[in-house]
Structure 1
Amino acid sequence: MTTIMVPPTCDAIPPVEGDPAGVRTFVDDLLASAVNVDDLDTFARDSARLDGWSGAAADAYGRYVRDTAADADAISAAVRRVARAGEDHAEALTELRRRRDLLDEDRTGYHAARSDLLADIRATTDADPAAVRELEDRAAALTSRLQTLVEDVDRLVRDVTAAEQAMLDALTSFSTLGQARAAVTGGTDLADAALARPGSPSSGGSPAEVAAWWDGLSEDEQLAVLAAHPEVVGNADGIPAVIRDRANRLLLETDLSALELREERGEILPAEDREALENGRAARAALAQGAQEVDPVTREPLVPLLHLYDPRAFGGDGRVAIAFGDPDTADHVSVMVPGLTSRGTAAETNAEAAFHIYESARYSDPHSSVASIMWIGYDAPSDWDSLTVAREDRAIAGGERLAQYVEGLRASREGSPAHLTVVGHSYGSTTTAHAASDHGLAADDIVLVGSPGAGGEVDHASDLGVGADHVWAGNNSRDPVAMLADNGWVGGGTLFGAGMGNDVGEDDFGANRFQAESTSRGEGLDPFADHTKYFDRNTESLFNIGQIVVGDYDEVLRAEHTYDPWWWDPVDPERHRTPTEIRRREEW
């Protein structure tokens, strides 16, 4: 009787303890701490000398404060190094867990093959030598397979131990202030050295130069700059979107923590701090709401990116940009530029509009990737200065900022260029037009909705630099803001500097006009209600914007232009057309 040696079962694969997501949260907390300590370093250095105070006491005070600054610098550097080790540990855990899952699959496959072999052995007799040899060969192969599996498991266990020890070493290397001081003594701060290089944001580099500068930094240098100067990284055009998001979230977290703590203590915040707190809370709420959205095609959750954050900009109005999708990798990218009343506290409403554009574009082309950004990056008329909406000054200044921002989107791009559309709404349409006519806005398509005009110097869509065929106008016939634009040859809309220029929906302007009527037009008592419906779901306007964003121009629902007979008032053919409700499929 022949004996076939079947290898034994394989022990269970040991688990890989640790959660990469939890480690990354820990790293973010460390980086937020490093930001705060670095701020203490800067504050202390700036406070080392007090005007009008001299003598021995002043000298002693200066030494004490400078020592405090040096210690803060050492602590910040040490915390950054631990954070860097934490990033490595999170990556290692991710890879180790992947390997462990693969080994578990191999073990399952091994046991299935072993069970099949045992069943075949029981069904075979010695009378069939060929079958017995085949069973022996299978048993030998299984033995080799088990040996490889055991060796791979041993290697996994060793690598897990090494990863844990590396993290433990990093944590214990800076457990005392003396260790932190020793680590930075005589050394150059990585962040300061990196920012001193040509092309950095602090050196005035262009978006393309900033992108090249960032790519040229090592991972250690990138993390050092991120932790020491998140306000520079987060708002630098040319930096990758996911990096800007991380830096800006650090700023948001540290801002809110500090300001809300003061508020909880009963402190009466100065006006500038109160405005910064309101802007920060609005950004946090917009991100939280955005995180509840899902991609309409895949149904996967979306993680909005905080692409711009400066709650104290423009005298407290603030700057903020939030992206759905990654503009560095998406096939189609859109930037929505809002108008009147747009400031930091309007982040949630405008982020919702950006998501609706994302959603419409994905419905329009479910096979392409999309990124949709809302950009409040200029000083739009709002609050006490709302009357400046009657002049172009802010649109002119905002146009320069917008052009640089879009240039940054191009510079940080991975791979081939995206199809990029800028959607200007209301006063934001005038800002968009100035970015195009004054600064060569690097867009493929320009969409102007609810527009009071494209600026007094723009006579025709071809003046915007993208070709008249790629300029799109969507003005609701009941929109009172769109009615402010000039019609006819007199030019009264820019009389004495007031007004925003020609009607972009008029035949003489030469843009592609698309249907943008709402089925609820004219309803209610608010005379400006129709001005705010362009990004509402199920509207003609949102449908057409989605088609333009993905470049599906043939599907855009065209509208007849407004025209201005010399003997009568301007005529809008859309005024008497029955609007259509456009519903999109909820699933593909």
Structure 2
Amino acid sequence: MTGVDDVLAWDLAGLPTVAARLGTLTERLTDASRAAVTSADSDQAWRGATHDAATQRVRVVAASMRRSARAASTATDFIRGSTAILENAQSTLRSRVAAARSEGFTVLDDGAVTHPEPERRADALYLTGAVRQLLQTADDLDRAFAGPIYEAAVRLDGSGDQVGLPNGSIGSPEKAVDALATIAPTRRRSYWESLSRSEQDKLIQTAPDVVGNLDGLPFDDRITANRVTMLDRLESVESESGADSDEARLLRSMLDDERTFLAYDPETGQFAELVGEITPDSPGVAIFVPGTGTGADDVDDLHTRAAALHEKTGAPIIVWADGTFPQTILSNPLQNSYKSMAVDSRLASQNAPRLTSFAAALDDELATAGPGVQTTVIGHSYGGTIVGTAEQLGMRADRVVYASAAGTGTLPGVPWNNPDPDVARYSLTPPGDLIHYAQDLGALTHGGDPDDADGVVRIDSGYLSPDEHGHRQLLAGPDSHSAYLDDPGSDAFTAIADVILGDEPAHYVDRSPDMHQIDDATKEIERDASAVARISGDLVLDTITGPTRRLLSLFD
């Protein structure tokens, strides 16, 4: 406990000066934050990516200044309110001690009082109780006022146990994470960046699985949080299933130092991986949305495809698999729900808002990490339907590629609402790719054929890479559906790279029929729909007529 000499030595005369200075600091911080925001929007002629990035940063700094101002104001109020009370406690103790000493009593630092004359023992015991009570009161008041002042001080650097909340108050890291998850992504980044690094680390440590999957947060922090989640998951998996389990091996691959994940859910396996680094010098950035069968066990194969595209373009590539994808084209409806099959478009409708939100988060990241860098969104197979639906919902992109896409969107009669008026759209569908059947037969639910859609330029699919004899085979037939994604030297892969770089790709050259007559194909499909599923693991065949369709409808 505080000793008598400590209390008597309190220098309280400087507290009013400290309070006055903190009050001045509060006013200056408040005025500066307002002026910064006003100035950022004062020049109506200044618009564009640089303006948006600068304005975003100004608002973050202004929010941080307002939080500091609130902390300084809190400290000011407590200092002003405590000064007179502490002065009274000190003065009362000083008077009591001085009076006792003037009568020959000895007052020790712990409040004990003694007297050399035995007959004054009772007086000494009484004074001991009185002095110690005054000392306890002074100590209690000191701690009561010091706590809030200390909390206000640590809010300035985030070193305390609590963190700032979006509403300006303070609370536990758990409460901050809950608030972070509920506010709009547009507010999320400003709030996050107004926190100190210490506060951000507290939130990541508290709930890395939440922080790592929130659109609007800086990519570096999402990557850090997801790595923490993966490390936790790996420890758990190795403990429960062993170090040689499939999931443990997969996690160790994902935890390679060169790999970075913008989303990761250990329960569902959903993920988004960034291959490459976003910088102001990036020649572009692409989001690749895969198709049917996508799951956690595809993370390495999709990384390989993205790495090849990154190597060819120099642009960062994001594999977006942060949703539930159909795992089969068509399967026994007694064993699987119709919604879980690629012939159904509902999972595309379910994923599209998530993709739209992620694309907006990428725009936020580019505003600071790569102003002016343009975005290309690529949807392959069932992923094309997801991308098309996201465009209907207002996903922003500079360029869009429908690569062997099942359709252009699941919302009947709803046009694309990409807010970029100059968006460039391309389609790439090799001849003989069985997705042609889905584009025609599934038009009512998947949106129709992107090759024939207004405003879409069909890219030349061309030829595969030369074989050992230098011969180049035409990209065509059932295998063409995905073959070009694994062939960086193919014309189709090169065309996609051209789009990412902002170059105009070669337009389509008709070298072979897209498909046989639809009527004949429908009969073939009805005779053996499962054969079609075996031919192309990524094919979306949405509308099946006749007996097969009627059978499926019973389980829809």
- Contact 1:199–1:210 at 8 Å: present in 2 too? no
Q: Does 1:409 align with 2:354?
A: no
**1:98-153 deviations in Å (ceiling 9; x for gaps):** xxxxxxxxxxxxxxxxxxxxxxxxxxxxxxxxxxxxxxxxxxxxxxxxxxxxxxxx
Q: Which structure 2 residues correspond to residues 67-216 of structure 1 after superposition, within 5 A?
A: 188-190=161-163, 193=172, 196=175, 200-202=179-181, 204-216=182-194
Deviation of residue 265 (structure 1)?
9.8
Give the one of 363, 373, 378 matched to 2:323: 378
Provide the residue aligned with 1:481 in structure 2.
435
Q: TM-score, normalised by structure 2?
A: 0.54
**1:320-349 deviations in Å (ceiling 9; x for gaps):** 111122336545211100010001111011
CA distance in 2, matches of 1:510, 1:564: 22
Distance 1:464 1:243, change over 3 A: closer
CA distance in 2, matches of 1:503, 1:534: 20
- In structure 1, the gaps of 5 or more residues are 1-182, 267-276, 292-302, 363-369, 487-491, 571-588
Provide the residue aligned with 1:393 in structure 2.
346
Amino acid in structure 2 at the alignment position of 1:501:
G
Distance 1:199 1:371, change over 3 A: farther
Provide the residue aligned with 2:69 in structure 1.
none
Give the one of 350, 360, 372 matched to 2:312: 360
CA distance in 1, matches of 2:174, 2:360: 21
Q: Does 1:241 align with 2:210?
A: no
Distance 1:430 1:503, change over 3 A: same
CA distance in 2, matches of 1:539, 1:460: 35
Distance 1:504 1:464, change over 3 A: farther
- Contact 2:458–2:507 at 8 Å: present in 1 too? yes
SS of the aligned residue for 2:342 comes to: helix
CA distance in 1, matches of 2:374, 2:274: 16
- Contact 1:410–1:417 at 8 Å: present in 2 too? no
Provide the residue aligned with 1:146 in structure 2.
none
- In structure 2, the gaps of 5 or more residues are 1-153, 155-159, 165-170, 329-335, 465-471, 520-556
Q: Does 1:449 align with 2:412?
A: no
CA distance in 1, matches of 2:188, 2:249: 30
**1:294-329 deviations in Å (ceiling 9; x for gaps):** xxxxxxxxx33111111213xxxx211111223365
Percent identity reads 21
Amino acid in structure 1 at the alignment position of 2:222:
R
Give the one of 301, 306, 311 matched to 1:349: 301
- Contact 1:319–1:343 at 8 Å: present in 2 too? yes
- Contact 2:431–2:513 at 8 Å: present in 1 too? no
CA distance in 2, matches of 1:419, 1:510: 19
- Contact 1:241–1:326 at 8 Å: present in 2 too? no
Q: Does 1:261 align with 2:239?
A: yes
Deviation of residue 206 (structure 1)?
2.3
**1:60-116 deviations in Å (ceiling 9; x for gaps):** xxxxxxxxxxxxxxxxxxxxxxxxxxxxxxxxxxxxxxxxxxxxxxxxxxxxxxxxx
- Contact 2:382–2:405 at 8 Å: present in 1 too? yes
- Contact 1:461–1:511 at 8 Å: present in 2 too? no
Q: TM-score, normalised by structure 1?
A: 0.51
Q: Does 1:470 align with 2:424?
A: yes
Provide the residue aligned with 1:502 in structure 2.
448
- Contact 1:327–1:409 at 8 Å: present in 2 too? no
Provide the residue aligned with 1:223 in structure 2.
201
CA distance in 1, matches of 2:276, 2:228: 20
Query: Which of these two proteins has the greater Rg computed from alpha carbons?
Result: 2
CA distance in 2, matches of 1:403, 1:280: 32
SS of the aligned residue for 2:188 comes to: helix
CA distance in 2, matches of 1:470, 1:265: 47
SS of the aligned residue for 2:231 comes to: helix
**1:160-190 deviations in Å (ceiling 9; x for gaps):** xxxxxxxxxxxxxxxxxxxxxxx9xxx7444
Distance 1:200 1:210, change over 3 A: farther
Amino acid in structure 2 at the alignment position of 1:543:
T
CA distance in 2, matches of 1:349, 1:252: 19
Amino acid in structure 2 at the alignment position of 1:344:
A
Q: Does 1:431 align with 2:376?
A: no
Deviation of residue 283 (structure 1)?
4.7
Provide the residue aligned with 1:158 in structure 2.
none
CA distance in 1, matches of 2:345, 2:312: 31
Q: Does 1:515 align with 2:515?
A: no
Provide the residue aligned with 1:493 in structure 2.
442
**1:435-479 deviations in Å (ceiling 9; x for gaps):** 1112x1121111110112112546798665555860110111121
Provide the residue aligned with 2:491 in structure 1.
540
Q: Which structure 2 residues correspond to residues 51-70 of structure 1 after superposition, within 5 A?
A: none
